[in-house]
Structure 1
């Protein structure tokens, strides 16, 4: 089981600046390497404060130069928003910059406003991803690309980069894509939101059924789970983190709307029906002491049996110091307990 630090790179309040988010992210990745994380992910989003990271491969390239061991990857390249012929070359360049350390997440995307701004039909994103995936496989596996598809028509084109497909991860709920992921040996990425342990099992079942239908017969499917955690003993920081997690949940739902509410780029977090209270999150979410966070996440591992766990601590809206301190506690005090729980599951 591998453990990664996820970096959404959001502006959590009006006073936060992109340069601060960028600097905190780079330091967090270096800290994650020092404290034993296996990997670091960078998101891709556009046109709102939900994320300043329009190009996760640029973050991979930058962080490759300031780290030595930790694996790095986009989670995910929203492939329908990119011309795949360019993407395959940039992925090849990233492999050169981080030899043996690139991991590759791809996905369909889901935010209507992003597709509208790019002039791409959201309803076609699955077929666009299939063709883009064809191009990635051709270019990375053979060094050649040629395709006559519905969305892309590419004459025979040599690719002047390494011919190797990095470890592949997929975010997307389409059964056909999940079946293709199974045949490719890719890891599925899911985010059960604010459901932990047994309550998150329906999210796993949704992707496991088509994965097994494609022929996978192992005990546990290759599964990556996204979790939101904040490790601190300080009650005030715990409350800020719980408030930030609620704001993140509201923003996530708002981004599914055709026109997400925003002032400029600053996304407005709108309450949703049935949302948890901050006090409920303080009691039930993995926010608090290292012991509490480790216990909740270990229960999660036993229920979901993932092969990959992605942990995100950048949602609190606190300053760089508290955020980096929370990441360090996560790496030094929670990860060892989770690795122990993973070994027990494997046994």
Structure 2
């Protein structure tokens, strides 16, 4: 079991600048390393305030130069939006620049406006990713790419990098992609969202069905889950974090619309049917004192049995100092409890 700090890198309000978001992310990654996090992730999104990180590989390279131990990577490279021959080379470069600390997440993507702006067929994203994955594996494992497919035609092309395939993670994906993940030992990633552990079991079941179809026969599939957390004793900060989390959930759902509701790049907060109240989030979400957050996350671990837990806390809109203080509490007061609980479970 390992623990990661996830960085979506949103603009939480109109007064926040991309430079401030990037500076906070860099500081948080350095702090996460000092606190003992195993890894850190950077998202890829385009053209809205949901994320200012258009290139998670660039962010990983930047933060690699400022850290020594923590593993870094994209969660995820939206592979259909990139020519895979370029991704092969950039991943190879990043694996060298990080000193072998690269984790690689790939995914199909799902936001219609991104595909439209890039001129990529959203309906073909699974088959495009499948071909891109072929090219990525071939280039990293052999140092040569030659491919004749529906979407890519590549003559025999040498790649000037050592042959090395970093640990691979897959976000979402069809049953066929999950079966392929099983065959190569990749870890499926699912977002728990605002769900309590039991409500997330169907997400795990779908991932597990595809993974076992690929030949996996062990007790637990490798599984990464993403959780939204904020550790603070202050009731006012707890409420602001819960309000920010609801705003994030609304934006995440709205980004599945053909045309996202936005003013310029800023996403509008559009309520959705069945959304939780702020009071429900204050009671049930891992927002609040360390003891409460540790209890909820430990329950998630018991129910979902993940091998990887990605924790995101950049949704509150609170000032930089308060966010970094909450991260300090998460690393100092929550992670040790979760690691002890895992150790006891393994020993029993």
User: How would you bin the TM-score normalised by the shorter chain?
Assistant: over 0.9
Match of 1:88 in 2: 88
Secondary structure, counterpart of 1:191 in structure 2: strand
Aligned CA-pair RMSD: 0.6
CA distance in 2, matches of 1:269, 1:207: 30
Match of 1:58 in 2: 58
CA contact (8 A) 2:9 2:53 kept: yes
CA contact (8 A) 2:112 2:256 kept: yes
CA contact (8 A) 2:228 2:311 kept: yes
Match of 1:141 in 2: 141
How far apart are 1:221 and its partner, in Å? 0.3
How far apart are 1:97 and its partner, in Å? 0.6
Q: C-alpha offsets along residues 218-265 of structure 1, whole Å, 9 cap, x if unaligned?
A: 111010000000000011100000000000000000000000000000
2:258 pairs with 1:258:
yes
CA contact (8 A) 2:107 2:173 kept: no
**Gaps in structure 1 of 5+ consecutive residues:** none
Q: C-alpha offsets along residues 207-227 of structure 1, whole Å, 9 cap, x if unaligned?
A: 111111111011110100000
Match of 1:107 in 2: 107
Instruction: Give the aligned length.
Output: 347
CA distance in 1, matches of 2:236, 2:36: 28
2:230 pairs with 1:230:
yes
List 4+ stretches of structure 1 deviating above 2 A. 344-347
CA distance in 1, matches of 2:232, 2:311: 15
Match of 2:326 in 1: 326
Deviates more, 1:309-318 or 1:337-346: 337-346
CA distance in 2, matches of 1:79, 1:225: 20
Match of 1:46 in 2: 46
**Gaps in structure 2 of 5+ consecutive residues:** none
Match of 1:187 in 2: 187
How far apart are 1:345 and its partner, in Å? 2.8
Secondary structure, counterpart of 2:9 in structure 1: coil
Match of 1:346 in 2: 346
Secondary structure, counterpart of 1:192 in structure 2: strand
How far apart are 1:173 and its partner, in Å? 3.0
Secondary structure, counterpart of 2:132 in structure 1: helix
CA distance in 2, matches of 1:193, 1:101: 27
CA distance in 2, matches of 1:345, 1:307: 13
CA distance in 2, matches of 1:291, 1:172: 31
Match of 1:37 in 2: 37
Q: How does 1:1-347 map to 2 (within 5 A)?
A: 1-347=1-347
CA distance in 2, matches of 1:177, 1:344: 34
CA distance in 2, matches of 1:151, 1:109: 17
CA distance in 2, matches of 1:94, 1:106: 15
Q: C-alpha offsets along residues 118-164 of structure 1, whole Å, 9 cap, x if unaligned?
A: 00000000000000000110110000000000000000000001211
CA distance in 2, matches of 1:275, 1:257: 17
How far apart are 1:344 and its partner, in Å? 2.6
How far apart are 1:346 and its partner, in Å? 2.3
Q: C-alpha offsets along residues 167-209 of structure 1, whole Å, 9 cap, x if unaligned?
A: 0000023111001000010000000211122221111111111
CA distance in 2, matches of 1:96, 1:164: 10
Secondary structure, counterpart of 1:157 in structure 2: strand
